Amino acid sequence: MDKVREKILRGAIEKYGKEPQRDKAIEELSELIRALARCDDAENVAEEMADVRIMLDQLELIFGNAQKVARWEVKKLRRLDQRVHAADVIDGE
């Protein structure tokens, strides 16, 4: 995360507090869920995805778990890659 982005995100956490920002993350996630359920406005989906990405970055700062999140992401991407390629092997037989 670049320094400018981190400064902005930390500023929001300091101004609003950790618990309110956690609650805001929940709110933004629910807004994305609603936008995806409607799926009739690509611009709205993109906007809500941006809000969620911002809140996920704030949550990493709040919980101090960016390295753990990164490790889990790698594990899950590897598992997804295995599943995707396993389907190719089965389909190719």
Predicted pLDDT of residue 11: 98
Q: How many domains does the chain have?
A: 1
- Burial track 28-46 (b if 16+ CB lie within 10 A, e otherwise): beeebeebeeeeeeeebee
* pLDDT tens readout for residues 1-59: 899 999 999 999 999 999 999 999 999 999 999 999 998 899 999 999 999 999 999 99
What is the extent of the structural domain holding 30? 3-92
56: amino acid identity, one letter: L
What Å distances lie between residue 70 and 60, 65, 85, CA to CA? 10, 9, 22
